[in-house]
Amino acid sequence: MRLWRLELIPWCVVAGILPLLSNRLGVPWPVLLLVGFCLVAMAALFGELLHLRNTPTDDEAFDDRPADGLVPIVETAGISRSINSLLPAIGPFDKLNSDHSSDIRVRNGGKRLRGRVGLAAFFVGRDENAWDEREIVETYKSIERAGVWLEREAQRSNVPLNLERLATYFVANDEHTETVELVDSLDPFENIIDERDADLKALTSATRAAAALGFEHLDAMIEMIGRLADHDVLIFIVCLMRAGRSSAILPGQFGLPGDGVIVCYAREENYSEPLVGLPFIDPVTIAHELLHQFGATDKYGTSLKTFPERTVTRNDVMRLDVERLSKLRIDPLTAAEIGWSRGNPSNASG
């Protein structure tokens, strides 16, 4: 409560008029003083309750700056990193600073795609096929392109959104080889062969890589970095140096803490396999999976007629009929799913 903030001036006024009221009403002044104190206290209490009602909760509070179309690289207090020789603004994780506990904050938690959103990259490779500096820089560029596109879409919906890339990235190798078991896909829109427990295997691989960096497991890394990062939302992008089918691991899925994890393979295939050729994580994939984190559903593999009229076009990012990011849009149905408002979808065809 903030009763101690009561102004002295009202009390001085009360003290001045109290004798006059006591004589006029025939009521002892101590009684009037008690009544006056109760009235002022009730007014203060009402004001406090009104303040609490109008103060955003942790789930509602967010950085409300308008989207600026930029995805800067930002440092995270409490983390030491090395330097990427090709892009000194970023570098691999070195260690947690010994005094990092002073930087830990209680984050709002991510439930909506708005506010200040941090993107942390975790590169998982193998000794014979590890991520090198150039490949990591190229992936940072893909993340930037995806973020710029998302902010421009946020501008179209007048949604406050500012995405940022963490300057510190995490990179380690996992030498364990998983057995691939193929099954019929559970995807309701596609009749394809899928990999059993692909997401679980990907996270298990990331957990072994996190242990190589000195963390107890992936959960501990996500929780610690999430508490250090100064963002409303922090999404981890796990980049696997292999081919496979990218996916979004929603908050709480597999017991993971934090706001969610995106698993992105160095090349898109229906199931995990050794990478052939150079790695390339498509910014379209990053944007598509990021939107899954906030409630967007897939809209591919079915006729546009199955959706309410003028709510989904072939340019919708969750449909993936179009491969060029510049041609994709967040159409009204997808916008509604992630808590944005969007008008007529006809302008999404451009």
User: For 82-95, what is each residue's pLDDT tens digit?
Assistant: 999 999 999 999 99
Between these two residues, 273 and 155, which has the higher pLDDT value? 155
pLDDT for the residue 338? 95
Identify residue 55 by its one-letter amino acid code: T
Question: Whole-number mean pLDDT of the chain?
Answer: 82
Burial track 333-342 (b if 16+ CB lie within 10 A, e otherwise): bbbebbebeb
* Mean pLDDT, range 142-169, rounded to an integer: 97
Contact 97, 78 (CB under 8 A): yes
Contact 164, 120 (CB under 8 A): no
Between these two residues, 13 and 64, which has the higher pLDDT value? 64
* Mean pLDDT, range 89-111, rounded to an integer: 69
Between these two residues, 232 and 104, which has the higher pLDDT value? 232
Query: Model-level pTM?
Result: 0.78
Between these two residues, 291 and 39, which has the higher pLDDT value? 291
pLDDT for the residue 266? 95
Between these two residues, 273 and 178, which has the higher pLDDT value? 273
What one-character-per-residue DSSP string does 74-94 give? E--TTEEE--BTTBTT-EEEE
Residue 14: pLDDT above 90? Answer: no
Residue 292 to residues 5, 174, 176, 208: CA-CA distances in angstroms?
Answer: 46, 27, 29, 25
Residues in the chain: 350
pLDDT for the residue 271? 75
Residue 146: pLDDT above 80? Answer: yes
The domains of the chain are located at 3-54, 73-294
Residue 240: pLDDT above 60? Answer: yes
* Weakest-pLDDT range from 43-47, 170-174, 260-264: 43-47
pLDDT for the residue 52? 44
